[in-house]
Amino acid sequence: MRWLIGLIVFVLTAIIAHLVVLNSIPAKIMSTAMERMADRGIALNGWTAAPRITPETQTVVRPSPDLSYAICRFDTSDGPVLLSAPTAQTYGSLSIFDDRTNNVFVASLQDGSDFEGVIAYPPGNPPIEEGRGYAANGLNTVEIDGKGLALIRRLAPDQDTHDLAAALIEASRCEKLGR
């Protein structure tokens, strides 16, 4: 009887540990990546243009050397965050990832796109509610609970196009919205 109880305890703890560890992996990896970005000086609520991708400058797994990247760490805990970027001639996108690595939003930044910006807002506080001091007219919205990462990718297979893409960061926004 006691061996049967031991077997049951073994199976139950194995299943629970398996599920707990498995489901914690993405958030743990994302959290570590965000901490490393913070250590490298990537600001909260502001775009940071990454240097051109080379073996020496790579900081995340499988970066594409054909793209320029800009990163914004943001946190909706204290209210919504506005993200935007200008369009350009070649392929580009603005994407948002939650703290479990889900790609919860993506918009084209290529000429012809009607993307004006996106507001990331905390659950239960949609930005279209009246009386909050800002409007979502013409903007996309996405619900994010706490920390998130936004990424601008632009086609930039050489140094000149990389520099052009990096110059567009000044016209891009990643900032907390006032109430």
Footprint of other proteins (CB under 8 A): 2-3, 5-7, 9-23, 25-26, 29-30, 33, 53-56, 58, 60-66, 91, 93, 95, 97, 100-104, 106, 108, 149, 151, 155, 157
A 10 A CB-CB count for 117 gives 17
Compare residues 19 and 171 and give the one whose CB is closer to other proteins.
19
Q: How far is the CB of 150 from other proteins (least distance, A)?
A: 10
DSSP-based three-state secondary structure for 32: helix
Q: How far is the CB of 108 from other proteins (least distance, A)?
A: 8
Question: What number of CA atoms fall less than 13 Å from residue 124's CA on the CB side?
Answer: 4
Compare residues 27 and 177 and give the one whose CB is closer to other proteins.
27
Beta-strand relationship, 140-143 and 67-75: unpaired
Q: How far is the CB of 134 from other proteins (least distance, A)?
A: 27
Compare residues 28 and 179 and give the one whose CB is closer to other proteins.
28
A 10 A CB-CB count for 158 gives 9
List the helix and strand counts (H, then E) for the chain: 2, 9
The shares of helix, strand and coil residues in the chain, as percent rounded to the nearest 5, are: 30, 30, 40
Compare residues 50 and 136 and give the one whose CB is closer to other proteins.
50
Q: How far is the CB of 179 from other proteins (least distance, A)?
A: 29
